[in-house]
Amino acid sequence: MPIIRVELLKGRTIEQKREFADVVTREAARILRCSPEVVDIVFHEVERHDWSSNGRLYSDK
């Protein structure tokens, strides 16, 4: 069973997550030759002050 973990900054809408989950599930099932029913996606939302890129917190950008 493929488990796809997605880490992203907070702020995406439920509609965006729903569409992402639908498209990624279909493509993962196609590429991995498995049933879409066994593909799980876990969204982990991170606060802007808990994520840094290039030495700077996203909350400071």
User: Which residues are designated catalytic?
Assistant: 2
Residue 22 phi, psi (nearest 5): -65, -50
Instruction: Tell me the C-alpha distance between 22 and 24, whole Å.
Output: 6
Instruction: Tell me the C-alpha distance between 39 and 56, whole Å.
Output: 34
